[in-house]
Amino acid sequence: MKKTFGNLTKEEKSSWILFIAAWMVYAVISMTKSGYAASMASIIGEGLFDKTQAGAINASFYLFYGTAQLLGVRVVDKVSPVRLVSITLMGTLLSMIGMAFSRSFITMLIFWSFCGLIQFAIWPAILRIIAEYLVPSQKKKAMVYIAFSYCTGTLANYLTAGIVLKVARWRTLFWVFSAVIALSMILWYAITTKTKDEYTRQATVNREALKKDEEMTSGDGSSAETVGFFKLITISGMLILLIPSLIRTAMDAGLKSWVPTMITENYAVSASFASMLTSILVFINLGGVYIANWIYPKRTKNAVAAFGICFLTALPFTVLLLLTGKIPVAVVVLLLTVTTTMMYAGHQLINVIIPAYFARYNRTGSIAALLNALASFGAVVANIGFGYLAENYGWNATITSWIILAAISALACIIAAPVWKRFTKRSK
């Protein structure tokens, strides 16, 4: 008879503890990932860099983040996800300390690039922990709850920035992040050490159950793992989905990176106040998880079609942003909130729900890494491109580019939806 704690078995309790630790770590990493974006308005305000230089530093994170994911697409399925998380925490701590000490464009570029490089495996590792280390009864809920981690971390970033930048310079913000990362490392080590026996045993049980299910499904003992990677992303429609995945992150990262600056320049408010306004936007973004789960599977059984609906819904609100500077700042924040919330609903679909379909092929980490890699290159274009457009052609040109990108993404999803539908039927 299994030992129980309340209504949970020992295995279930250990599984939840591991997931909660992973949730907290990913929230902290998400907070640091947005740290430079939150400080950009203050850095530009000090005259340290112009918009193009500031955007280039932010873009360097995503350039190295995406490149590392492309090159390490197989590594994330081979190395222990728990170890990958530990390496990410250590490297991020070094990056935050380096940013706090930086005095020039070059040194800041180096440390922020390193931060992107070291964080490349965090999301695939978190998805693997959910798919491989949790008890089956908890996986579905965990897939929903993990989506709140990113938004919570981003919200914590802007709230922290709003408070710190009001009383101190931007360097202090990176020292605060360093302290949070250090505490997270201690927590992660303690929990993974305590639950190691349980999650290792559960991983073995999950692998055996998946193998048995494959044999029963195929009827000939063949394995889904034998399907080639390129063939897999072709027959599933992922090759097409790379386009809207890239664009979604470009819009999400671009909006979150440049919103404080855009609001500051159009409404003459302080950098601290702009960060606080953005934190309201990020908080409401949490509703994107529920929107995604309302559209799919309740309104459509096709996750790709649901992804396209997110872009179509955001499109008219993005068009209205062309009125920025002519309408009250509260209305602009509302428009941005709706747009970024729909982008976050899209994140839940393309980065959480869709990769889970590849678990039987042992490609969850690889697909997640590929999606993140291409999306990161979109963020590179967003930070450099949007900064260049804003600097040389104004905010209306930048907003017009967002409108075009949203329309292209919706079209790509319409094309990929029937391909995905055939693939999911084949995979059942």
- Burial of residue 57, with CB atoms counted within 10 A of its CB: 0-12 exposed, 13-18 middle, 19 or more buried: buried
Asked if the structure places residue 1 within a domain, the reply is: no
Q: Given this model, what pLDDT does residue 317 score?
A: 94
Mean pLDDT of the chain: 84
Asked if the structure places residue 92 within a domain, the reply is: yes
333-365 pLDDT tens trace:
888 889 989 998 998 899 888 887 887 777 877
Asked if the structure places residue 2 within a domain, the reply is: no
Asked if the structure places residue 386 within a domain, the reply is: yes
CATH of the domain at 208: 1.20.1250.20
How many domains does the chain fold into?
A: 1
Q: Are 44 and 263 in contact (CB under 8 A)?
A: no
Copy the structure tokens of residue 36: 């430079």
Reduced to 3 states (helix: H, G, I; strand: E, B; else coil), residue 9 is strand
Asked if the structure places residue 166 within a domain, the reply is: yes
175-207 pLDDT tens trace:
999 999 999 999 999 999 999 988 888 888 887
User: What interhelical angle do 329-347 and 303-320 show, nearest 10?
Assistant: 170
Lowest-pLDDT range of 4-13, 15-24, 313-322, 404-413: 4-13
Cis ω before 297 (30° cut-off from 0): yes
Query: Does the pLDDT value for residue 218 go beyond 50?
Result: no
pTM above 0.75, yes or no: no
The residue behind tokens 């999911």 is 424
Q: Given this model, what pLDDT does residue 293 score?
A: 86
Asked if the structure places residue 165 within a domain, the reply is: yes
Q: What's the domain range around 34?
A: 9-427
Asked if the structure places residue 360 within a domain, the reply is: yes
Asked if the structure places residue 4 within a domain, the reply is: no
Copy the structure tokens of residue 4: 């129980």
Q: Given this model, what pLDDT does residue 319 score?
A: 94
